[in-house]
Structure 1
């Protein structure tokens, strides 16, 4: 069977003899350029009828972008990781914490005095 070629060899599924023309005309497009704070430019193509988003993520650095080259959006403020204790300290004063601790110690001492097992 060597030398017997196939009529569709090298073609992709859905390709016809006329190529793209049989799929119809493509929608009119516009090229929009977005700018990030690091100076990167990202060109994106949108349909003319499409609404253009105010912000876009920069594919190079991930910062937000805008169409204003002279005033790109600033990098987002990154909040440092907070532990559970840090959040508790935001909600309670030192006096409240001392009071809660004293109540907990009193409860444990009362259980120990009654002979209750606790771990």
Structure 2
């Protein structure tokens, strides 16, 4: 039953040890700089033994970001989202679709 107290009984936030002493030391890290086409600058850190990627997604706008501020990576053109009907219309003409629809309706009605 609620007594009007906080949800954490017997524990105070920040009372215990947190971070490196409890979990051990962090791996050695290197900070890399990336710039996107909108001029956003991000600095993710990587483990020293990890390979730093050539392209990184900008956390602010989602554009590809590269290590060279003056020559940012080009945006890949993505095809717009298409529904199932969009793909069907891409493969078949209106007349072909009507023929298929009439065949399917005839099967359902039992006339074929």
TM-score (normalised: structure 1): 0.57
**Unaligned segments of structure 2, at least 5 residues:** 1-13
Deviation at 1:103, TM superposition (A): 2.8
Q: CA RMSD in A?
A: 3.6
Residue by residue over 1:60-94, the C-alpha shift from the partner in whole angstroms, topping out at 9 and shown as x without a partner, is 11222121323222234343332332211112134
* Mapping of residues 1-119 of structure 1, within 5 Å: 12-14=15-17, 27-104=27-104, 107=106, 111=109
Write the distance in 1 (CA, Å) between the matches of 2:49 and 2:86: 49
Mark the CA change 1:95 to 1:31 in structure 2 (over 3 Å): closer, same or farther: same
Cα displacement (A) at 1:104 = 4.2
The structure with the larger Rg is 1
How high is the TM-score relative to the length of structure 2?
0.59
What is the total number of aligned residue pairs between the two structures? 98
CA distance in structure 1 between the aligned counterparts of 2:58 and 2:109, rounded to whole angstroms = 60
